[in-house]
Structure 1
Amino acid sequence: MYRRRDTRRERLVAEIGAELRRYSVDAQHIGHAFANLHGLNATDLQALIAVMDAELVGRPITPGRLGEQLNLSSGSVTALIDRLERAGHIRRDRDTADRRKVFLHYAERGAALAMEFFRPLGRRTDDVMAGFDDDELEVVHRFMTAMTASMREHRDAVRAARDEPARRANG
Structure 2
Amino acid sequence: MDTIFLIGGLLLMFIGIIGSILPVLPGVPISWAGLVVLYLSPSLSFDTTFITITGIVAISLYILDYIIPAMGTKRFGGSRAGVWGTTIGLIIGIIAPIPFGILIGPFVGALIGEMIFNKTEGPQAVKAAFGSFIGFLGSTFIKFFATIIYLGLFIYKVVENWELLV
Shared fold per TM-score greater than 0.5 = no
Q: Which has the larger radius of gyration?
A: 1
- Higher relative contact order (Cα pairs below 8 Å, separated by 6+ residues): 2
Q: Which has the higher strand share?
A: 1
